[in-house]
Each structure stands twice: as structure tokens, then as C-alpha cells.
Amino acid sequence: MNRLFGAGKPKAPKPTLNDAIASTELRVGSVGAKIKKLDGELIRCRDQMSKMRDGPGKNTVKQKALRILKQKKMYEDQRDQLTQQSFNMETTVFATENISNTMSTIQAMQDANKALKKQYKNIDIDKIYDIQDEMADLVEQANEVQELMGRSYNVPDDLDEQDLEAELDALGDDLGFEENDVPSYLNNQEPELPDLLPDAPDGAISNQPVPDKPTEAQASAEPAVRM
């Protein structure tokens, strides 16, 4: 069929708002360039009029300047309209993007809600309470075991603390110690050692002559004399 009648032309994609905004911005730029050109012509007309005397020539230049000014006003109106159109389309794009983001957020929240419900189906609240109660009982039992292990043996439980303090106060009187009496083994002072060596007489050591060291010949002759 395509060979007989030919294939249809592919349809052009529909223009989007972003495409329309870009086209409008190009038109605004083109109109702005025309306005700038007319401003230059108005400046030249003004300079010519400032140098001319009143008469037909000056009136001709004046009429030309008025036509240029009207044309400039027309282009300025077009520029303002195009700028407003571009602003409206940008506002529409912004609103569309906000709606799209909102829908995406809602969809994500719904998916999360479904996932939470699915997870909570596997959780038994009563079982959690039972686990907490069992943990509390185990901790209490552990504390009881520690208390039992920390008890002291052969110590009566009915001892009065006041009686113990009174007995402690009377303990010093029974032993016969006074406040200033300190046993010798608790005294940190070092005992004085007795001087067992007699004192040397004055000048006894310094006045005695020091014997000379024997020579090698004397040292070798001493054994022969002893023989």
C-alpha cells in the first residue's frame, strides 16, 4: 500500500509551552533591535533640526522624526504585548511543574503508606509487650542473684549500728592508749644507731708520715731475706 499511494508525512510534534516561550523571546529581541534602530534615526533627526533654521527643510525633517516616533511607539506596544505573553506562559509552565511535583509527592507517599502497612502486618504488638515483660523479669532476677552473691558470711543481721559505734569509742579506753601514745612500730622516725668506733686523737693521722712505695728491687729482695 505504501508503494502504491506513498507513505504519509510524519506528523510534526506539537509545540510545547517552552517552545512557544522561546519563539516569543526571539520576537521580543527582534522588536527590540528595531526600536534601537529607530532611536538612532531620531537622534540624527534631532541633531539636524538643531542645526537648521526655521523653514520648509526643518519642517520636513520634523515630519520624518514624527513618523519615526510613531513607528517606535507601535514597536514598543508590540514588545510589551509579547513580553506579557511570555510571562503568562512562564507562569503556566511553573504552575504545571508544581502540579506535576505535587502528584509525584502524593504517589510517593501512597507507596510509602502501602509499604508501612505491609511491614506492620508482620509485627505483633502483644508479642513485643511479652518480650518487654520477660526482659524486666530477667533483669530483676539478675539483680537478686547479684545481691545474694554479695552477702557477707558469719555476720549477724541484727547488729545495731549505735551499739557498734559505742563499742568503737570504748575500744581505746580498754586498750589503755592515750591520744599522744603512739606504738613504736607506727613511728616513722628512724632509730639512732650507737657509735661503736672510738674517736681518733687530734692530729694522730695527719702527723704520721706516709711510707714510701717500695721499688722493684726491694720488692724482689724481700723474699730472699725471709728465706
Of 140 and 225, more confident: 140
79 pLDDT more than 90:
yes
222 pLDDT more than 80:
no
100 pLDDT more than 60:
yes
Residue-wise pLDDT for 145-185, tens only, equals 988 887 766 656 566 677 777 777 777 555 555 545 555 55
- Poorest-pLDDT segment among 13-22, 40-49, 91-100: 13-22
pLDDT of the residue at 163: 74
Name residue 56's amino acid: P
Q: How confident is the model at residue 209 (pLDDT cuts 50, 70, 90)?
A: low
34 contacts 109 by C-beta, under 8 angstroms = no
pLDDT of the residue at 205: 47
DSSP assignment letter at 189: S
> Burial of 58 by CB count in 10 Å (0-12 exposed, 13-18 middle, 19+ buried)?
middle
Is the Cα torsion angle 198, 201, 203, 209 positive or negative in sign? negative
pLDDT of the residue at 211: 53
123 pLDDT more than 50:
yes
Q: Which three cell numbers stand for residue 35?
A: 526600536
26 pLDDT more than 70:
yes
59 pLDDT more than 80:
yes
Of 137 and 185, more confident: 137
pLDDT of the residue at 192: 57
Give pairs for 63-66: CB < 8 Å, separation 24+: none
Is the Cα torsion angle 176, 178, 183, 184 positive or negative in sign? negative
86 Cβ contact list (under 8 Å, min separation 6): 21, 24, 25, 28
pLDDT of the residue at 113: 93
